[in-house]
Amino acid sequence: MRSTEGRPCDSPAVLVKMTIRSSRLFITVALGILITAAAPASAEDRLCDPANESCRSILINLIRNETVGIDVAFWFMEDARYTAELVSRHRAGVPVRVLIDPRANNSYPLNAQRLQELQAGGIPMRRRTSQYILHWKMMLFHGQNMVEFSGANYSADAWVPLSPEPYVNYVDEAIYFTSDTPIVDSFRTRFDDEWVDNTNWDDYANVSGLTRRYGRFPQDPSLNFPPTENYRTRSIQSYNAETVGIDAIMYRITDRQHTDALLAAKARGVGVRLITEPEQYRDPTRLWHAWNVDRLYMGGVEIRHRAHQGLAHQKSVILYGRGEVIFGSSNWTSPSAAGQLEHNMFTTKPYIAGWFVDQFRRKWYNTTGVVETTDFVPQPPNSPKTPSPAHQSTGVVTAVTLQWYGGPWSHLYDIYLDTNPNPTTLIASNLELGPSESATEMQSHFVSAPLNPFTTYYWRVVGKTMALQERASQVWSFTTGDVIGAPPPAAVTLVSPVSGSTSATPTFTWNAVSNSTFYFLWINDSTGTRHEAWYARSTAGCASGTGRCAVTPVVPLTPGPIQWGVLTWNAAGLGGWSAAGSFTLKALAKPTLIAPSGSLMASPAIQFRWNRVSGATYHLLWVEDAAGVVRVQTWYDLAATGCSTSTICSVTLSVPMASGTATWWILAGNFTTGYSPLSTGFKFVVP
């Protein structure tokens, strides 16, 4: 079944060859290590591509050969081969533990059968109960000192070619097997952490007491484990530091912070290419994928769609100037960044980098003769429909709000309105009203100039994607009535925010006006008008006309001075503007460090202490030893550092470090304001 779903390092030499094709700039970049040939895999690394080889046989052989213990975690499993082999090893006396998430059963019914088989086989199982799902896809073989992880679900079609001829029908994946001990140890510790957690997990079957199987090991700095570490934050740091080129294969793209960073890289001259999945582009349950892909296309990013018979489910990014590859289970989505349980790798291992470069080039250029990818062609939206006022209605108020159903793919709208049966007067252009995310969600626009009474008006709406592909509605008409009715509403009184704020998406509140049926919210930051939209009083949470109205726009504001105001309206016309509101959006302050600094430190246990940054929800600890090796590069939430209620954050780590003077820094961040300046580095001496 198909899935739903730093700091710069020393770079290797690069060879950049620029070619022109169809008036677009294509970038061919070869890492210096690849100029002659890709470096061979070390004995501890193995990457498998199900386009042309059976990755399933490798995994099954690992299961069969294990004699000490197996740990398994997955979003869903559909292939009964795996459950049969795991039950067989368990019955042979090999301890097996499995982490599961039965919420996958709703989309993958075969997963329920596999869970029953594991339960009947007596295997201990624990299930995830927190808000965000388990998105791991990993197996750990303790006796063989081997871990396998990737974005590949344990389905029958994700691990092998699905046609006799390679590259014709397969699921795009990059499945990683490694016996690199620091990586395997990291998974040992993280699996144990989840297994004994009673906050986010409960017992599902065959569990008799919760104990850790392994010792506690430091995390390999190349690994990234959301939600305790933010995948988006670390990825964007790498994008921002890249100076040569970025190639990505990404299944699902709904988080604009990734695409904003890629567009910024493209704007500063970095070549950016993307392979993505066409089914996601028009998946009505994933509307923002198309929005992001269309924006990348308009920003000059080269894009190709999967053209083979399978599915482009891979999640990988190559950064050529940094010699870095990012791969694992996280899509470019908000849940994958810091909500779901994920596993990712940020590595500069030459073999891995070479493998991903070769794979991307094969797919991009179709070098095997099989058409694996094709040029992306942006698609148009649906035609707007369901007008209000309804077509040919009469007695319409002269201060009219036009409404329509824009459909799932339009994000921008042009409105034409006049008394001509073929209206040509453009009264609004490129309104960023977004798509209809449900069958009943309508777009609306208040016509600011009052219409003439007893007059027939004609209007149409043109819906446009972010790639400016468009479709027009039919021409609709309505006839106005007399200007009568209750008086216009009074102006509102603003409530908040009226002072400082550290949230870039604050909630704006004001006192309701009893006879106002719509409110127009206007927000201006240092970049200009940032948000303006009409809200029905029910949408603003004040349907009764009493109490307070509240709206939280999703568009993040830029730190600095903010101005805002609210305008009222009812059928009799516009009311007055509120008094102007203003506040300052505060950027996060630069962190201040406390200790260690200057003194001789006992090794390996070191306590790092710093002052909590107001408004920050995460802090990044960066530690380099005397040899210049990055020993720690980890994001911690407030709870992990003990500063949820304290002003002092601390974390104690046992990290092997070279003797001499080491340096550490702290970076603060949250999901709305962004990041603070990097702290001043503190130095300390390790014996």
Q: With helix as H, strand as E and coil as C, how does 503-565 read? A: CCCCCEEEECCCCCCEEEEEEEECCEEEEEEEEECCCCCCCCCCCEEEECCCCCCCCEEEEEE
Beta carbons of 503 and 672 less than 8 angstroms apart: yes
pLDDT score, position 498: 80
**pLDDT tens digit sequence for 87-107:** 999 999 999 999 999 999 999
| Range name among 134-138, 290-294, 607-611, 673-677 with the lowest pLDDT average | 673-677
pLDDT at 268 over 90: yes
As a whole number, mean pLDDT of residues 131-154 equals 97
pLDDT score, position 655: 83
pLDDT score, position 26: 34
Torsion of CA 537, 540, 543, 546, to 10 degrees: -100
Residue 671's pLDDT band (boundaries 50, 70, 90)? low
Q: How far is 557 from 658, CA to CA, in rounded Å?
A: 44
CA separation (Å) from 457 to 423, 453, 469, 481, 569? Answer: 9, 10, 27, 12, 21
pTM above 0.85, yes or no: no
| Range name among 43-47, 104-108, 403-407, 578-582 with the lowest pLDDT average | 43-47
Q: Which of 512-516, 572-576, 615-619 has the highest mean pLDDT?
A: 512-516
pLDDT score, position 450: 81
Give percent of the chain with pLDDT exceeding 70: 92
The closest of 326, 243, 275 to 29, measured between CA atoms, is 243
As a whole number, mean pLDDT of residues 495-500 equals 84
Got the DSSP string for 112-148? HHHHHHHHHTT--EEEE-SSS-B--EEEEETTTTEEE
**pLDDT tens digit sequence for 434-468:** 999 999 999 999 998 889 989 999 999 999 999 99
As a whole number, mean pLDDT of residues 163-171 equals 97
Query: In whole angstroms, what separates CA 208 from the centre of its chain?
Result: 37
As a whole number, mean pLDDT of residues 215-219 equals 96
Domain boundaries, the chain: 14-35+230-370, 54-160+181-205, 385-480, 494-585, 593-686
Give percent of the chain with pLDDT exceeding 90: 74
The sign of the dihedral angle between the CA atoms of 469, 475, 476, 482 is positive
Q: How far is 687 from 685, CA to CA, in rounded Å?
A: 6
pLDDT at 8 over 50: no
pLDDT score, position 673: 65
Helices (H) and strands (E) in the chain, counts: 10, 43
As a whole number, mean pLDDT of residues 618-642 equals 90
pLDDT score, position 672: 63
pLDDT score, position 502: 61
pLDDT score, position 399: 83
CATH code for the structural domain at 494-585:
2.60.40.1220
Do 14-35+230-370 and 385-480 have matching folds? Answer: no
CATH class of the domain defined by 385-480: mainly beta
The closest of 177, 188, 213 to 345, measured between CA atoms, is 177
pLDDT score, position 2: 42
pLDDT at 56 over 90: yes
Q: How far is 185 from 180, CA to CA, in rounded Å?
A: 9
**What CATH topology corresponds to 593-686?**
Immunoglobulin-like (2.60.40)
Torsion of CA 232, 235, 236, 238, to 10 degrees: 170
As a whole number, mean pLDDT of residues 408-423 equals 97
pLDDT at 20 over 60: no
pLDDT at 117 over 70: yes
pLDDT score, position 424: 97
Which residue matches tokens 């070191």?
A: 606
CATH class of the domain defined by 14-35+230-370: alpha beta
Average pLDDT over the chain, rounded to an integer: 90
| Range name among 502-516, 591-605, 612-626, 636-650 with the lowest pLDDT average | 591-605
Residue 234's pLDDT band (boundaries 50, 70, 90)? very high
pLDDT at 525 over 50: yes
**pLDDT tens digit sequence for 468-485:** 999 999 999 999 987 655
Residue type, 618: Y
Angle, CA of 151, 153 and 155, to the nearest 5°: 150
Beta carbons of 475 and 422 less than 8 angstroms apart: yes
pLDDT score, position 305: 98
Q: What is the CA radius of gyration of the chain?
A: 28
3-state secondary structure at position 647: coil
As a whole number, mean pLDDT of residues 258-283 equals 97
pLDDT score, position 22: 31
Residue 39's pLDDT band (boundaries 50, 70, 90)? very low
Question: What is residue 253's DSSP assignment?
Answer: B
Angle, CA of 364, 370 and 374, to the nearest 5°: 45
Choose which CATH entry (3.30.420.40, 3.40.50.2300, 2.40.50.90, 3.30.870.10) describes domain 54-160+181-205: 3.30.870.10
| Range name among 228-242, 274-288, 575-589 with the lowest pLDDT average | 575-589
As a whole number, mean pLDDT of residues 484-489 equals 71
| Range name among 203-217, 225-239, 662-676 with the lowest pLDDT average | 662-676
> 80-91 vs 109-120: helix axis angle to the nearest 10?
10
**Comparing 17 with 294, which gets the higher pLDDT?**
294
**Comparing 344 with 606, which gets the higher pLDDT?**
344
As a whole number, mean pLDDT of residues 640-663 equals 89
Q: Is 449 exposed, middle or buried (0-12, 13-18, 19+ CB in 10 A)?
A: exposed
Question: What is residue 391's DSSP assignment?
Answer: T
As a whole number, mean pLDDT of residues 390-413 equals 94
The count of residues in the chain is: 687
As a whole number, mean pLDDT of residues 166-191 equals 98
pLDDT score, position 9: 33
In the numeric block, which tokens belong to residue 37?
A: 């040939």
Beta carbons of 511 and 568 less than 8 angstroms apart: no
Dihedrals φ, ψ of 448, to 5°?
Answer: -70, -30
As a whole number, mean pLDDT of residues 404-433 equals 97
pLDDT at 232 over 70: yes
Preceding peptide of 95 cis, ω within 30°: no
pLDDT score, position 448: 81
As a whole number, mean pLDDT of residues 373-400 equals 95
